[in-house]
C-alpha cells in the first residue's frame, strides 16, 4: 500500500519552463487524497515559492523547502 508520494521540483516534477499540468495534477491529487496518500514536495525552492506552485492544495500538502520558514 502506498502511503506517500514525494517529488522534487526542478528537473523532476516541473517542465523546463517551470510549469506543470495543473488540471491533471489536481485530478491525480484528488485520487491520492481519497486513498489517504500524502503528497510531499521536497525542493531547493523557498517555502513561499512552493506554496505558489500548489495554491489549491498548499495547506494540505507537506512542503519541505530549502530553508524552513520558522
Residue 70 pLDDT exceeds 80:
no
Residue 67 pLDDT exceeds 90:
no
More confidently predicted of 68 and 3:
3
Residue 18 pLDDT exceeds 80:
yes
* Mean predicted lDDT score pLDDT of the chain: 93
What is d(CA 63, CA 50) in angstroms, rounded to the nearest whole number? 7
User: Which pLDDT score is estimated for 68?
Assistant: 58
What strands, in cross-sheet order, belong to the sheet with 4-8? Answer: 4-8, 38-42, 62-64
Which member of 8, 10, 16, 59 is catalytic? 8
Is 10 a known active-site residue? no
What's the angle, vertex CA 22, arms to CA 18 and CA 26, rounded to 5? 140
What is d(CA 68, CA 21) in angstroms, rounded to the nearest whole number? 27
Residue 50 pLDDT exceeds 70:
yes
Residues 57/29, Cβ–Cβ less than 8 Å:
yes
For 54, the enclosing helix (H) or strand (E) is: none
Amino acid at each position: 500500500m502506498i502511503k506517500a508520494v514525494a517529488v522534487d521540483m526542478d528537473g523532476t516534477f516541473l517542465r523546463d519552463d517551470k510549469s506543470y499540468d495543473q488540471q491533471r495534477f489536481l485530478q491525480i491529487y484528488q485520487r491520492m487524497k481519497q486513498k489517504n496518500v500524502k503528497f510531499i514536495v521536497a525542493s531547493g525552492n523557498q517555502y513561499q515559492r512552493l506554496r505558489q506552485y500548489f495554491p489549491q492544495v498548499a495547506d494540505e500538502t507537506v512542503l519541505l523547502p530549502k530553508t524552513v520558514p520558522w
